[in-house]
A and B are shown apart, each in its own frame.
Chain A
């Protein structure tokens, strides 16, 4: 008797669920997100997670991607590659997700690249290091501009300023290491000598000794490559020591909170970043303007904090995935080739043109040189 009742109940539930499924149109798509919501890389992961929550709700309210509702599962990796690996396995084996957005950092992405590729799960990384997509893995994409382009932009500016002898600082993370490699590889071609190169711990609390070493090497400029709060500490320590040389940062500096944290010391710091950090100053004719302004308005309205390029990466990853699903349906292999052949997707980081050989899709013009003026990000200009 009990069994019959249970069976009847189950039948009723499945009928209702079926009816609901029909109402929504097609079966939902489960998307996992592996993001450093807390920990030293939370400047990246936290706005990314908030962006996904905001945009997935918005998308579902409009009927989902091509009629498929998106079910978002966010896992907080704390910026730790080991945790990223175990959460990636959980998302793939237990949650059976269609695609993964993230991780936020390069080190974590490199740790999960192989797992995603082997299981045939789409991975849309929000991290920057070139090695994520070089060599190309068929199921791994990234939406952040390459670090080699960032280094290129910085060197062009240094050349213009007649700087030929620099000191390089980087943190001991995947992002720092990959950036250091690119800088060291590209510097000779631009006639730039790296007179001193120091690697510091990602949790560093004071970097006076490292900066003293650069001072001793008589560098004409400092280039720092990291994503942690240490990049704000570096500029404070340099200025406190009376080292008044120009300071360049990587695109990891593109969260205005860093500039605020360094206060007066941040004035004049130069770095490459995508146009979203100067959204309001863009020309009305700029292709990206409507996209970045709409995202900025929605994000700042809901969370009351400034947008950063990092939240923008999550925006672009979700947007690219949604467009591919709309074009190709819920078949993972078809979606994969839709992303690989996608042209002209206008995102916050730039205009994406993917190809089988290029899983980043962004060109060097995705970057603009930005500087800090009065605690705000502005275009550096000529």
Chain B
């Protein structure tokens, strides 16, 4: 294969990886606070994209994105307070079913509010045909915007969970909620905060990928499945891991297209996921605590 083509496949893979990872990191916050997977994460991504498109008719793009992120954070808080906060020691299974219920609710609400039409934000710089090229390899500037947003989110999360008291308290809350509460950690507020942060990060992801993928009321589930896959692959709770997982899946998918019919793309990524999870059940880059806890338990 010519070098130029190989690099173009690599760019395609990085594009897929960025889309998957920017959605995937959103799963980590609620997981780090509660130990559950939020199955409504894809709907936060959808809400962010749709709200930004609506706001962009009235205000400039940066304001529209900020507004959409804030709106989705408020929705995240409202959903948590309404459906989860008042529950007394909910089981993990119950929480998961509640988040599935929330995802259906948000999706149907969006269908009523916006209809079934497909929308997109304009490209942040350039337009549908512009690309940066280097030696015959082309990449859409929007991919770089998404990659930039991804790196900012990951850096923020790393600092937040490793270096700030609130972030540490949140992790304590997931490790053992009762013990954390006994130590004076306001566990309920932290769970609410985790939904707010997750919603905000999901909404930002929805804004940066919408020019590439388009958005409509129903895109949440599709984006969430791939995002969830790479979050698991990287080790749940580990954001740099999700990014690495995203790039692994994306690049493998892209190169699989060069050799095999594209129809097998998804089958290949799932097969890789299964193979890796057989070898490393807690993901490629599982945080040490998780592994230790699992060994103890």
Contacts and interface: CB of A to CB of B under 8 A. Distances in A.
A34 interface: no
Interface stretch (B24-32, B78-86, B252-260): B252-260
B64 interface: no
Interface string B110-134: 0100011110101000011111010
A80 B257 CA distance: 27
A29 to B, nearest CB: 28
A233 B130 contact: no
Contact of B12 (A43, A201, A208): A208
Interface string B255-269: 001100111011000
Contacts of A236: 128-129, 140
Interface string B7-23: 01101110110010000
B218 interface: yes
A257 B133 CA distance: 29
A113 interface: no
Interface string A168-201: 0000100000000000000000000000001111
Interface in B173-223: 209, 212-214, 216-218, 222-223
Interface stretch (A15-23, A258-266, A292-300): A258-266
B129 A38 contact: no
A210 B262 CA distance: 7
B254 A208 contact: yes
A27 B257 CA distance: 58
Contact of B5 (A38, A46, A212): A212
Contacts of A232: 214
Given A209-B258, A257-B117, A265-B129, A216 B222 contact: no
Given A200-B263, A213-B257, A205 B116 contact: no
A113 to B, nearest CB: 25
Contacts of A208: 8, 11-12, 15, 254
Contact of B19 (A43, A172, A206): A206
B56 interface: no
Contact of A172 (B209, B217, B263): B263
A203 B133 contact: no
A242 interface: yes
B8 A265 contact: no
| Main SS class of interface, A | helix
Interface in A208-247: 208-210, 212-213, 215-216, 229, 232-233, 236, 239-242
B140 A213 contact: no
Contacts of A172: 263
Contact of A209 (B213, B218, B253): B253
A264 B127 contact: yes
A236 B139 CA distance: 12
Given A198-B262, A205-B213, A206-B213, A212 B12 contact: yes
Contacts of A213: 257-258, 262
Nearest to B142: A240
Interface residues of B, number: 45
A273 interface: no
Contacts of B222: 203, 205
A205 B19 contact: yes
Nearest to B117: A257
Interface in B218-259: 218, 222-223, 253-254, 257-258
Given A205-B223, A206-B12, A208-B12, A262 B262 contact: no
Interface in A27-50: 37-40, 42-43, 46
A216 B8 CA distance: 10
Nearest to B7: A212
A264 B16 contact: no
Contact of A206 (B8, B15, B127): B15
Contacts of B218: 38-40
B228 to A, nearest CB: 15
A44 to B, nearest CB: 11
A175 to B, nearest CB: 16
A264 B128 contact: yes
B128 A262 contact: yes
Given A38-B111, A240-B139, A264-B128, 16 more contacts: A46-B117, A172-B263, A198-B263, A206-B16, A206-B212, A208-B8, A209-B257, A210-B257, A212-B5, A212-B12, A215-B8, A233-B213, A236-B128, A239-B129, A263-B129, A264-B129
Interface of A: 37-40, 42-43, 46, 172, 198-201, 203, 205-206, 208-210, 212-213, 215-216, 229, 232-233, 236, 239-242, 257, 261-266
9 contacts: A38-B116, A43-B118, A205-B209, A209-B254, A210-B257, A212-B254, A213-B258, A215-B8, A233-B214
